[in-house]
Chain A
Amino acid sequence: MSAPLETVALGKRFRGRWALRDCTLRAPEQTVVGLTGPNGAGKSTLLSLAVGLLEPTEGTIRVLGRDPRRSADAIAEVGYVAQDAPLYRSFTVAETLEFARATNVRWDGALADELLGGLSRQTRVSALTPGERSRLALAVALGKRPGLVLLDEPFARLDPLAARAFLQVLMDGVAETGATVVIATRVVTDIERACERIVLLGEGGVRLDGTVEELLESHRLLTGVRRPLGRIRGVEEIVRARHSGRQLTLLVRTNGPVLDPTWTVEPIGLEELLLAYMATVELPTPRPPEPSRLRWHG
């Protein structure tokens, strides 16, 4: 079965520099996917490719089963909110909704209304707070009852309270529409609340891809006495190694239980896990992956 968003070996080059390379991923039906990675990892480029604003340099991308550059129908079924939630600043909220109704084939005004809650319909967009503006942009995107929703850095300009409020409206909209959602964000604080799958871009490709459960299950923090590092049974890859004094802390990807009693084994939270991966990604010049990603800090 085809997924609402699917890419195979997708790449985009701007003037000799690869903004995105070797990107193979899929956002399955009715899931919320967090697309993350450091600045310059290609998150926005991927979304622009998905809405047909850019032509791939190599590889393929399918949106709702179709080629976004050649299918206006597919794009009509995508709710896309670009960075900074672009809206007409001189329109009132009511005029913005009217404009959306008039320009979309499918429009669910009741849903948009519900998602906007008590926001005054007579206020001009230019007078809205950043939080209210994102809420309006989201209501307009979800009002299309889209099969796929693409959000580019929705939290970047919001304070933590507004970000949490935005998330509540988004999750409410997801509950109502069952849409597949891709959230491109480098803010990972609340990512676990919203997302069931995580894709982390970096080093010119997909560095991590899995459900939140898989990622939490397959990573552990090992703490022990500082020592030369050899193979540790149950460890697939050392993502990060840190030492302070005589103590050594490893973040590892496991392929089985780590039973070596000289290590204290603990689970790791998703936010810390993602930040650790992002720190291992070298940008903006992508390099071929090294066999070992061991790096020392401190």
Chain B
Amino acid sequence: MEFHLDPRSGLPMYLQIVQQVKDALRLGLLDVGDQLPTVREVVAAIGINPNTVAKAYRELERDGLVVARPGRGTFVASSLGSPSVEHHDALRRGLLAWLREAQRAGIDEESIRALVSSTLREALDRRVA
């Protein structure tokens, strides 16, 4: 898999890598037994500090999602695919309907993004609190 880093996200890069691996696990793009790219491969591909990659992999290992086999690499140890994956299609359809409604109301892309991210943050904050 290949990592994409967003310097404007305000999220530390190692967490972006952690997040992308988890997303790939959730979406079924990575499965138990799959090998993650080696630290050197990631460094060569995207020119990032090797310690950052190692830190992300350690974090994933602590969560029990991957396991490091010395000299061989880092492998997926458990999946995050939850039963909810089967609901994705229905949720996507609901989201599309909502987006069409927003467009009809004349809301542009930027405002849609702002609305989605502020609502999401609010909902998450409430769940945490």
Contacts and interface: CB of A to CB of B under 8 A. Distances in A.
Q: Note whether A and B form a binding pair.
A: yes
Closest 10 CB pairs of A and B: A267-B10, A168-B47, A175-B50, A167-B47, A269-B8, A213-B12, A193-B48, A171-B43, A175-B43, A268-B10
Given A193-B5, A264-B118, A171 B10 contact: no
Contacts of A168: 43-44, 46-47
Nearest to A165: B47
A175 B39 contact: yes
B7 interface: yes
Contacts of B40: 172, 175
Contacts of A165: 47
Interface of A: 30-32, 164-165, 167-168, 170-172, 174-175, 189-190, 192-196, 212-213, 216, 264, 266-272
Contacts of B52: 196
Nearest to A267: B10
A212 B9 CA distance: 13
**Secondary structure call for the A interface:** helix
Contacts of A264: 118
> In the complex, which range does the number of interface residues on chain B fall in?
20 to 34
Contacts of A270: 7
Contacts of B118: 264
B117 to A, nearest CB: 9
A128 B47 CA distance: 22
Given A168-B44, A172-B43, A196 B9 contact: no
A172 B9 CA distance: 25
Contacts of B9: 267, 269
Contacts of A267: 9-11
A271 B8 contact: yes
Contacts of A269: 7-10
Interface string B22-52: 0000000000000000011001101111111
B40 to A, nearest CB: 6
Contact of B49 (A171, A213, A216, A268): A171
Contacts of B7: 189, 192-193, 269-271
Contact of B47 (A193, A213, A272): A193
